[in-house]
Amino acid sequence: MSVLTAVRLSARPSAAFASLGLFWGTWAGYVPVVKGGLGVDDGTFGLLLLGSACGLVSAMWIAPRTDKALGARAMQVLASCFALAWLLPTLAGGAVPFFGALVVVGLCSGLLDVTMNARVSEREAVTGRSLMNAAHGMFSVGYTLGALWAAVARTAGLAPVAALAGVAALVLVAMVPWMRQEPHVVPHPAAGRGRYPWVAILLCGGVVLAAFMTEAATEAWSALHIERTLGGQAAEGALGPAMLGLTMTVGRFGGQVVAERLREVAVVVGASALAALGALVAAWAPGPGVAYLGFGMFGLGVSVIGPMGLALVGKMVPAHFRTEAISRAAVMGFSGFFFAPVIMGLVSQGFGLRWAFTCMAVLVAGAIPLALLLARRPAALQPA
């Protein structure tokens, strides 16, 4: 099946993935500006980013009920809330309001993440096709465009609130109308819900966590690494997240083809090794050019790990558990988007960004033993 066919089959949730990517890409390019405006050190900034994690964890528990309550309009409502929420941190006048604003962003992001991943998994069940990599590829497309927009906007002197407001207007007018999709409701069996599939959730969630944690750290700190450690200019710094987004786009669309030909465990092991090597290259690069190479290698590798983990949990659990299971595994993974920048900030504060990115190499390599454990426990891959 071609990538275009996969995108067409998952077109409505793919619009949500792309909109999410637009915001995160723009935000990543503006991190140095936002941090400078707050006037805090690396460690404090990393702790402030923990506000998003608080919102995200809350989303894990309420996402299934929210999805059920909103029905076919769930992605539309949540994408609209997410777009408007992004204006809050850019308007925050200090550290405490900034933290509170990120709590709201994290909550909206988590709710939309869970819902759109559940919709893709439902489409996979209905069509019998692998669609998750293509949908996540659309996130990377949006992320790349957002990072490139940030590079242009920063060069032109545009403030973060103006740049993100432009993205919000685009999403609300052009993308939200495409996101309406009826959920595929599966009633509980007459015999009851059965045993909860914690093993599948925890193992797959761990794989997703290893991928998304390191991806988030690279998104949030790559621009600072290029500008501060390697002496790059503002536009060169913004190209770090752009390189990551571009290679992740290529990797995820390529992963759509690979997912239909190779076992997931083999792909996760190889991709984790490539991502770890890329993080090391970026960490110890002598200049921006070599750092771009490292971020590119990392992006190609890490791009397929998370989507495969989420696709697996959707397939491994009974259908009536699907949204709940994806909610748990997704929040395990997406919590990495917020905990990783905290770790990066603390390590950078103590030892510098080179060692912080070295830690990310070790973390993404952690997906390898988890994948091997999955391979040795085939019983865990069956619906519980």
Give the orientation angle of helix 11-38 with respect to helix 132-155, to 10 degrees.
Answer: 40
Half-sphere exposure of 15 (CA within 13 A, CB side): 21
Record: fold of 3-183+195-381: Growth Hormone; Chain: A; (1.20.1250)
Distances (CA, A) of 72 to 20, 27, 76, 179: 19, 29, 8, 9
Give the orientation angle of helix 74-85 with respect to helix 95-127, to 10 degrees.
Answer: 160
pTM given for the model: 0.73
Residues 6+ apart with CB under 8 A from 14: 7, 134, 135, 138
Q: Alpha-carbon torsion 199, 202, 203, 205, what sign?
A: positive
Other Cβ atoms less than 10 A from the Cβ of 27: the count is 25
pLDDT at 246: 81
Structure-token match 């067409």, residue found: 8
- 305, 204 contact by CB (below 8 A): no
pLDDT at 130: 75
Token readout for 142 is 């949006």
Chain length of the chain: 384
- 140, 303 contact by CB (below 8 A): yes
Token readout for 106 is 């994290």
Token readout for 222 is 């790559």
Distances (CA, A) of 215 to 114, 317, 341, 380: 18, 26, 10, 27
Q: What are the pLDDT tens digits along the chain (384 aa)?
A: 567 787 788 889 999 999 999 998 898 888 888 888 888 887 788 788 778 878 877 777 788 788 888 989 999 999 999 999 989 998 887 899 999 999 999 899 889 988 898 888 888 778 877 788 788 888 888 988 998 899 899 989 999 999 999 999 999 998 999 899 888 666 556 555 667 778 778 888 888 899 988 887 887 788 888 888 888 877 788 778 778 778 888 887 877 677 666 677 788 888 999 999 999 999 999 988 899 999 999 999 998 898 888 777 777 777 777 777 777 887 788 777 667 767 888 888 888 889 999 999 999 999 899 888 777 654 334 433
